[in-house]
């Protein structure tokens, strides 16, 4: 699933190519890709004629300001892609929504697993009223709200393994499986360690590691493990530099011990048995 660096990479790409562009119309090829309003023709009617004023990100959600026309919301989920293409280019196999713009361009929402969704939020209504998942999000990792004390307070209320807690968006928004593994490695903390026994120094290390890993991944355009592409259709480059994620059995880049993998809450967790305690 695209995480903060991937979604932010898409946001930055959209900012470069779509601002000021007016939506002329579109086509919905899969009705359930539109979360609101329903039916899909109401979505197309609402966004047609609106110009994209600015793209925002909240956690893993993308929000485009449409000025007086409200908001356009997108959640890529597991396999979603937003591609900026010419309309005459061949359609990909899993295109779900097409938005048409001037100059023969279009924004395609491609989603193999079909878990991704798009919303139109009417003007005068906060996006979180319609896109209710936003209400549950914790602090943004790059914000002043995400302090060590905030992080410590959240984690000490939780008895679950730290890896599991990091995947819950109510603590810190935008972190997923890849960067939770990477940050825990850099902080020297095992993914199975209960949150409520973490020391202040451990939380401080993890806080710094999360910010650093996310910044490094963003600088490399995110990670392409399976489906992620930028709006130009380019792969992210962080995966090749990963410390532990998806490196089961390979030597640790620090101590050369084989990277191990275990399952926590149904998700694979990668770690070094010697560098992480």
Residues recognised as catalytic: 2-3, 60, 267
Beta bridge partners of 34: 118
Q: How many whole angstroms separate alpha carbon 63 and alpha carbon 20? A: 15
Decide if 12 contacts 54 (C-beta within 8 A).
no
Phi and psi at residue 145, in whole multiples of 5°? -65, -30
Decide if 211 contacts 172 (C-beta within 8 A).
no
Decide if 156 contacts 196 (C-beta within 8 A).
yes
Phi and psi at residue 98, in whole multiples of 5°? -125, 130
Helix (H) or strand (E) holding 109: strand 105-111
Decide if 269 contacts 262 (C-beta within 8 A).
yes
| Cα 3 versus chain centre, distance | 3
Decide if 161 contacts 191 (C-beta within 8 A).
yes
Q: How many whole angstroms separate alpha carbon 28 and alpha carbon 31? A: 6
Q: How many whole angstroms separate alpha carbon 190 and alpha carbon 112? A: 33
């Amino acid at each position: 699933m695209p995480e903060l660096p991937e979604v932010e990479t898409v946001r930055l790409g959209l900012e470069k190519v779509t601002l000021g562009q007016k939506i002329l119309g579109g086509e919905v090829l899969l009705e359930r890709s539109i979360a609101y309003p329903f039916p899909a023709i109401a979505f197309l009617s609402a966004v047609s004629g609106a110009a994209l004023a600015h793209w925002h990100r909240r956690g893993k959600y993308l929000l485009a300001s449409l000025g007086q026309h409200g908001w356009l919301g997108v959640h890529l989920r597991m396999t979603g892609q937003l591609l900026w293409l010419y309309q005459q280019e061949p359609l990909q196999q899993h295109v779900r929504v097409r938005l048409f713009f001037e100059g023969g361009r279009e924004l395609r929402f491609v989603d193999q697993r079909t878990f991704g969704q798009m919303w139109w939020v009417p003007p005068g209504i906060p996006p979180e009223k319609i896109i209710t998942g936003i209400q549950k999000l914790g602090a943004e990792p790059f914000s002043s709200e995400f302090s060590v004390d905030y992080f410590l307070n959240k984690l000490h209320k939780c008895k679950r393994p730290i890896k599991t807690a990091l995947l819950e968006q109510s603590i810190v928004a935008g972190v997923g499986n890849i960067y939770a593994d990477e940050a825990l490695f850099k902080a020297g903390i095992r993914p199975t360690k209960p949150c409520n026994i973490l020391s202040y120094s451990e939380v401080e290390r993890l806080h710094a590691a999360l910010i650093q890993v996310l910044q490094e991944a963003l600088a490399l355009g995110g990670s392409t493990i399976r489906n992620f592409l930028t709006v130009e259709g380019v792969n992210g480059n962080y995966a090749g530099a990963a410390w532990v994620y998806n490196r089961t059995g390979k030597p640790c880049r620090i101590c050369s011990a084989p990277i191990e993998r275990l399952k926590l809450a149904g998700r694979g967790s990668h770690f070094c048995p010697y560098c992480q305690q």
